[in-house]
């Protein structure tokens, strides 16, 4: 009897061509610092919360000496008025004017005056060529306000190590606990907003959609230029 029977040979060929199945042991979510974004807040892997404020800027160099000194004193008072850490984030983005150019094109078509229509078209082409000649960047300034519950500071070493190894279990907050922490976070946001207003700086808290866009642009800087984030209201998420 031949050991190379057709049946056995066929079985061996099927085994060689069959794709190898690898067991997935870790999720990508374990390698990112945040776990969820909802109610205009970011829930971190350890259960703490974050909120982000988009803050206006001031051209310090154009201010007079007295105004510069007043700004410095106000900034020092701003830092000394809080007993919790905050993070200042400066993000540079390439200027996107596609929507602005489309608006100009629409105005050009609707313009009844021939001279104004020509001038609108020339202005639209000028702006388009100006952006194509070089990468025009814009800067955005963010202030991240955190909230760490007091209970987290009193956890044992074993409890903290367990949350570090299994972060997914630490973020399963009950709705009541989340709302309680969210209220405390909003109190801090209101305090920070009032302090910024006293310095002559306006600020706005990022919504859930704005936070998602911020993280998307941060983690995907190149893809965000060619593939901007779609309308979030049209995205379906399976829970």
Question: Is there a single domain that holds both residue 160 and residue 184?
Answer: yes
Q: For residue 135, how many other CB atoms are within 10 A of its CB?
A: 9
Please choose, from the candidates 142, 53, 136, 56, the residue with its C-alpha nearest in 3D space to the C-alpha of residue 93. 136
pLDDT in tens, 8-44: 444 444 444 455 555 555 555 566 777 888 899 998 8
Same domain for 109 and 217? no
Which pTM does this prediction carry?
A: 0.65
pLDDT in tens, 145-175: 999 875 445 455 555 555 555 544 445 567 7
Q: Is the pLDDT of residue 77 over 60?
A: yes
Residue 163 lies in a domain: yes
Same domain? 44 vs 109: no
Total number of domains in the chain = 2
Range of 125's domain?
96-135
Q: How far apart are CA 160 and CA 128, in angstroms?
A: 54
Closest among 95, 134, 136, 129 to 121, alpha carbons compared: 129
Q: Is residue 236 part of a domain?
A: no
Residue carrying the six token digits 């007295």: 66
Q: How far apart are CA 195 and CA 187, in angstroms?
A: 13
Q: Are residues 218 and 123 in the same domain?
A: no
pLDDT band at 4 (very low <50, low <70, confident <90, very high): very low
Structure tokens at 151: 């209970």
Establish if 200 belongs to a structural domain. Answer: yes
Residue 227: is its pLDDT beyond 90?
Answer: no
Note whether residue 69 is domain-resident: yes
Q: In DSSP terms, which residues pair with 92 in a beta bridge?
A: 139
Q: Return the minimum-mean-pLDDT range out of 10-14, 99-103, 105-109.
A: 10-14
The Cβ of residue 188 has, within 10 Å, a number of other Cβ atoms equal to: 17
User: In the predicted model, is pLDDT for residue 136 greater than 90?
Assistant: no
- Which of 92-101, 105-114, 143-152, 163-172 has maximum average pLDDT? 105-114
pLDDT over 80 at 230, yes or no = no
Which backbone phi and psi does 3 adopt, to 5 degrees?
-80, -15
Cα distance between residue 178 and residue 160, in whole Å: 19
Residue 107 has pLDDT above 70, yes or no: yes
pLDDT at residue 132, as a whole number: 74
């Amino acid at each position: 009897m031949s050991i190379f029977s057709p049946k056995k040979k066929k079985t061996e060929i099927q085994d060689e061509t069959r794709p190898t199945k690898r067991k997935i042991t870790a999720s990508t979510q374990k390698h990112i610092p945040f776990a969820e974004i909802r109610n205009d807040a970011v829930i971190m892997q350890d259960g703490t919360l974050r909120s982000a404020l988009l803050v206006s800027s001031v051209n310090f160099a154009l201010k007079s000496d007295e105004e510069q000194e007043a700004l410095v004193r106000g900034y020092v008072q701003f830092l000394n008025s809080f007993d919790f850490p905050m993070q200042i984030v400066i993000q540079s983005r390439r200027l996107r004017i596609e929507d602005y150019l489309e608006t100009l094109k629409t105005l050009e078509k609707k313009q009844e005056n021939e001279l104004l229509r020509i001038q609108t078209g020339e202005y639209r082409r000028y702006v388009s060529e100006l952006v194509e000649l070089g990468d025009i960047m814009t800067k955005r300034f963010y202030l991240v306000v955190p909230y760490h519950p007091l209970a987290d500071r009193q956890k044992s070493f074993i409890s903290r190590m367990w949350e570090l190894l299994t972060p997914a279990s630490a973020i399963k907050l009950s709705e009541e606990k989340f709302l309680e922490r969210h209220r405390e976070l909003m109190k801090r946001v209101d305090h920070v907003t009032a302090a910024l207003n006293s310095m002559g700086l306006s600020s706005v808290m990022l919504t859930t959609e704005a936070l998602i866009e911020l993280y998307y642009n941060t983690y995907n800087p190149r893809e965000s230029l060619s593939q901007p984030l779609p309308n979030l209201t049209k995205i379906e998420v399976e829970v």
